[in-house]
Chains A and B, each alone.
Chain A
Amino acid sequence: MNRPLSKQLLNARFFLLLMIILFLTPTFFPSSAWLFSFATPLLNLNTIFLSILIEALPFVLIGVLIAGFIQIFITEQHIQKCIPKNKFLAIIMSCVIGALFPACECGIVPIVRRLVSKGVPIHSAMGFMLTGPLINPIVIISTYMAFGNDLKIAGLRMILGFIIAIIVALLISMLFTGTQFKKGIRTNHAQHGTAKLSFFKKSSNMVNHSIDEFFDMGKYLIIGAFLAAFVQTFVSTKTLVDIGDHFTSSMLVMMLLAYILSLCSEADAFIGASFSSIFPTPSILAFLIFGPMIDFKNTIMMLGVFRLKFVLSVLTIVFLVIFFIIWLIAPFL
């Protein structure tokens, strides 16, 4: 297997050269003026694409670091001890943990993947995934501010979101068992003596896992961010809004918007608020609850881990439950 030393050195040199080039790239095109002739839409697309990435990266990195931590430090025994045997209790618990856990929808998929591979039942994991990005202090405050310092929308968003997450998780528990991982994604069945390793060694392993996790999830994040940026650059909100003149159609339009815009749950309240005069409150609520639970970017990331059939089912269930619940309570709003 050992290649001649000269070849290895060549590889190493190539690697170094590549790094130097990368470092120098900015100085090659100090003004990039020659590229300004590029079509404006493309530059708009690129700007939005990069901005979504820059915005999402902190949360993704936190997500992969937590995933790495779970992988190395949490054993299956821990999880089996913590999660109640009763399905309903397990779901409630996971939804509460999700609500307490300040996550963003882009960082949560790697965490969910690790949890499931460590033996967390799929319905609990989904409960956690649905409440994590939706219910947290930053989202509450931004929603409160965006709607003219009114607690009603922020409160409804949290309470309804919590109830909806529980219902969705219950439905998933009836329909699906097992990990629902797609082929090629393995779960770890045993821990061969991790306990023997020193804390330092474990931490170093955790970082390695986080790096691999980043490379596993990064590509889906990038595809998702690109598609969301594409929609923002080329699809007009106005045409969508023109469709939604009835109550139900306006709800559908707002949910579709929430899905394709893939906004961060901490910022979507302001966009939601900007529609509050053209659409009734229930439609705005549907936008605010659907977006953080599942969106375009998130779906692509989930497809990187779970089976297509499972992802589509979760998407459909979340959509239907939100639609139905909000339709039910609409007369009281």
Chain B
Amino acid sequence: MKFHLQQAVKAVILCAFSVMIFNLHATGEITKLINPKYEMLSKTVAIIFLVLFVAQLKRIFSFSNHRNHNELCGCCAHSLVNPPFNWERILSYLILVVPLFTGFTLPTKFLDASIAQKKGATIMMTNQSQATKKDEVASRNEDGLLEDHPIDPKLLEEKQEMSKKEYDLLKQQLAQNPIVEMTNYIFSVYYEDINNNLSQYQGKKIRLSGFVLKETDLLENQFVISRFLITHCVADASIIGFLTEMPEAASLQEDSWIEAEGTIDIGYYNGVELPIIRIEQWKNIQEPAEPYIYPIDILISM
């Protein structure tokens, strides 16, 4: 019987990847990395790693009187069972160990204002308000039918996927509400609608929470109350947020979380028309357990 160190190293690494991913799920850290919608996919990855690990186990030992299987497998392209353990190989294993090491030892964290600034938060903001306005105007005229109807409770059953029709209905019903209540689930829906139909929301009360983001070109009494929208993983996070005005803005710490109530108004930033919230009441809050928001997927029926 012969022990193959390199195959053993590979087995350990495969196993460690599996354990790391399971561990991220078990501790809930995974929500800081990806949209929960993809959790199943990532769990599958952990299982595949585990399967590969088990498959790798049998390559660790070979019986020397047997010819090793690679000669039977019919391909000379692949690595020998025991290639020399040189520096190049050690380096490549070290690289693979890096994410394992940081994954196990360093805590993951929620993205903060410094990342928001790198991503150009105000750029993303101004663009939202200029996004397609054309078809919205048309659809809004048909709203008459829905007047005074309470929100259909079914629509608020936090579904992450819905058809285009349901989505439009949800949007219309939300627009009927006297107070704009930006909960996590409908944050992005409201955000899109407010930016597209600003005039209809002007003067409405709004209640929302988010972290404080300050940009150098904002006025003394202004800041951005912002959230990260995660489509797939935090690397593709985009910032959605409202320009906000209140007298004591200067005293707010960047990155601190606030819950605020105010009125939606039309403002300007760099010559672009966008919603601005004039705050009437606010308080500092703890960073919520789920600081990210996720888009609702619209299923397209062809």
Contacts and interface: CB of A to CB of B under 8 A. Distances in A.
Interface stretch (A78-86, A87-95, A156-164, A264-272): A264-272
B161 to A, nearest CB: 11
Q: Of B21, B105, B272, B295, which is in contact with the most chain A CB atoms at under 10 Å from its CB?
A: B105
Contact of B120 (A25, A26, A212, A238): A238
Nearest to A203: B55
Contacts of A235: 118
B96 A222 contact: yes
Nearest to A141: B300
A266 B128 CA distance: 20
Contacts of A58: 41-42, 44-45
Contacts of B236: 263-264, 267-268, 270-271
B14 interface: yes
Q: Of A2, A204, A232, A261, which is in contact with the most chain B CB atoms at under 10 Å from its CB?
A: A232
B282 interface: no
B238 A214 contact: no
A218 interface: yes
Interface string B218-233: 0000000000010111
B132 to A, nearest CB: 4
A238 B216 CA distance: 12
Contacts of A43: 106-109
Interface in A83-119: 117
A50 B108 contact: yes
Interface string B18-36: 0101011011001011100
A295 to B, nearest CB: 12
A186 B107 contact: no
A51 interface: yes
B238 A48 contact: no
A54 B132 contact: no
Nearest to B108: A47
Nearest to B82: A1
Contacts of A54: 21, 24, 30, 33-34, 42, 45, 233
A237 B118 contact: yes
Interface stretch (B3-11, B172-180, B241-249): B3-11
B285 interface: no
Contact of A26 (B74, B104, B233): B104
Interface stretch (A15-23, A122-130, A170-178, A316-324): A15-23
Contact of B99 (A25, A49, A197, A277): A49
B164 A149 contact: yes
- Describe A's contact surface by its main secondary structure: helix
Contacts of B60: 15
B102 A194 contact: no
B117 A44 contact: no
Interface in A12-64: 12, 15, 18-19, 22-23, 25-26, 29, 32, 35-36, 38, 40-44, 46-55, 57-58, 61
A1 B82 CA distance: 12
11 contacts: A1-B2, A26-B104, A48-B235, A54-B21, A208-B56, A209-B78, A211-B10, A222-B95, A226-B98, A233-B115, A277-B128
Interface of A: 1-2, 8, 11-12, 15, 18-19, 22-23, 25-26, 29, 32, 35-36, 38, 40-44, 46-55, 57-58, 61, 65, 71-72, 117, 141-142, 144-145, 147-150, 186-194, 197, 201, 204-205, 207-212, 214-215, 218-219, 222-223, 225-226, 228-229, 232-238, 241, 261, 263-264, 266-268, 270-271, 273-278
Interface of B: 1-3, 5, 8, 10-17, 19, 21, 23-24, 26-27, 30, 32-34, 38, 41-42, 44-45, 48-49, 51-52, 55-56, 59-60, 64, 69, 72-79, 92, 95-96, 98-99, 102-109, 111-112, 114-115, 117-120, 123-124, 126-132, 135, 164, 229, 231-236, 238, 272, 295, 297-298, 300
Given A32-B107, A48-B235, A277-B130, 14 more contacts: A12-B3, A15-B11, A19-B15, A23-B19, A32-B106, A48-B115, A51-B233, A58-B44, A188-B76, A210-B52, A212-B79, A218-B95, A222-B98, A241-B120
